[in-house]
A and B are shown apart, each in its own frame.
Chain A
Amino acid sequence: MKLLKLLAHLFVLHETNNQKAKVLHPSGLTLIAGFLIVFQLFLNVGSKAFPRVLGYAANISPSEVIRLTNVQRTANGLSPLNENGSLNGAAIAKGNDMLAKDYWAHFSPDGTSPWNFFLNFGYRYRYAGENLARDFGDATSAVNAWMNSPTHRDNILNPNYREIGIGVVEGDLAGVDTTIIVQFFGTPVNSEPISVVKAEEQPKGTAVPKPKATPLPATPTPTPVPQVAAVTPVPLPTPSIASFKFVSPFNSTKNLSMGVVGVLLLVLSVDLIVVRRRRIARIGGRTLAHIAFFGMILAVILILKAGQII
């Protein structure tokens, strides 16, 4: 009986809560916000304490990323990219470097550029580019996210590129188990000039275009390709792919948020109907406006996906 009274006090307008469900009072709303913040802190601490439990599991095949990339290129009238073993190795090395040095960026904290990995694997480039993705559950979602971003899309649909390498690595990044996809694009320096290169990009009086890289997105112009001594081919490590289930921090947050907003929308709807029927006069915000606001939040929660790209 006491429990029922408590639930009525919390979720239904009543004389005990001044004709407004307690969860809709500013104190109730702030308490819920505080609870969500504590939950986030728990997830952050929990992911460090239980690194094999909280994280992002994925089963992403590098060949599938290449296939989907080429589907996009051919759909846009471009030639498909050829998979290159050196670029694959460089991409995997870049992914492992991000995990080892714990960064999520094109450039490492010590200033190492993506192009260093190209050169370390003996890939001397005329053009080069990089796309990064993390926390996606499948290759399709990652490629779709890149295609929805103008700068990443430009990379995928860049006619200057001829080859591609993919690295899929899994490990601890900032305390959370993460799957990173590194997508490297390149055109070898010894390849024939590409007919689609604009005339102004070609140095006058030279038959071979000047080495140039087009790093996207938002990466500085790389230095011209240095002469690299012969590099011993490095065997490509097998991409580490998660084979066990995680509790995804994003999905946990998403489900909890959906539950909280769903309950609030229900309570607000009941409040709207009862207040109008009983013609209750009270000082407070517009219930309809609150329903619209939380409705927008719920729509965003339903649409947002876990992955990130840079």
Chain B
Amino acid sequence: MKQFAKDLPHYMLLGGILLAGFAGLVLFSYDIKFQAAVAIATAVSYTTWGIVHHYIHRDLHPEVIVEYAAVSLLGLVILFSLILR
């Protein structure tokens, strides 16, 4: 809990990224190209957030980058399968 409180600014930024992604995907549901762009931007931003967060914590390893990239890839595949139907 102490660690979470210390990292609160990081998680607030993450919340902003995810909220912006959610809003973009829902509000622009009539524009498929824009939705696809928002999905890509959100996935890339999430991986970038993870890399920067762990870099600041001095625990950035290749495994960590691969894990964030895999999570983002899976999220992107799910969103694309629904958007580009």
Contact = CB atoms under 8 A, between A and B. Distances in A.
A231 interface: no
B43 to A, nearest CB: 9
Contact of A299 (B4, B22, B50, B70): B22
Interface string B25-58: 1100111100000000010001001100110000
Interface stretch (A66-74, A94-102, A113-121, A284-292): A284-292
Q: How large is the interface on A (under 10, 10 to 19, 20 to 34, 35 or more residues)?
A: 35 or more
Contact of A250 (B26, B63, B74, B85): B85
Contacts of A254: 82
Nearest to A34: B77
A285 B64 contact: yes
A36 interface: yes
Contacts of A30: 70, 73-74
Contacts of A53: none
A33 B30 contact: no
B68 A292 contact: no
Contact of A257 (B14, B61, B81): B81
B82 A296 contact: no
Contact of B30 (A26, A152, A253, A295): A152
A249 B85 CA distance: 8
Contacts of A261: 78
B69 A26 contact: yes
Interface stretch (A3-11, A80-88, A301-309): A301-309
B82 A250 contact: yes
A249 to B, nearest CB: 6
Interface in A22-66: 25-27, 29-30, 32-33, 36-37, 39-40
Contacts of A33: 70, 73-74, 77
Contacts of B85: 135, 249-250, 253, 306
29 contacts: A25-B67, A29-B67, A29-B70, A29-B71, A30-B70, A30-B74, A33-B70, A33-B73, A145-B29, A152-B30, A249-B85, A253-B85, A285-B54, A285-B64, A288-B4, A289-B53, A292-B11, A292-B15, A293-B18, A293-B46, A293-B72, A296-B22, A296-B42, A297-B79, A299-B22, A300-B25, A300-B79, A300-B82, A301-B78
Given A295-B18, A300-B82, 6 more contacts: A29-B73, A30-B70, A145-B30, A257-B78, A293-B72, A306-B85
Closest 6 CB pairs of A and B: A149-B30, A26-B70, A29-B70, A296-B18, A285-B67, A33-B77
Interface of A: 25-27, 29-30, 32-33, 36-37, 39-40, 135, 145, 148-149, 152, 249-250, 253-254, 257, 260-261, 283-286, 288-290, 292-297, 299-301, 303-306, 308-309
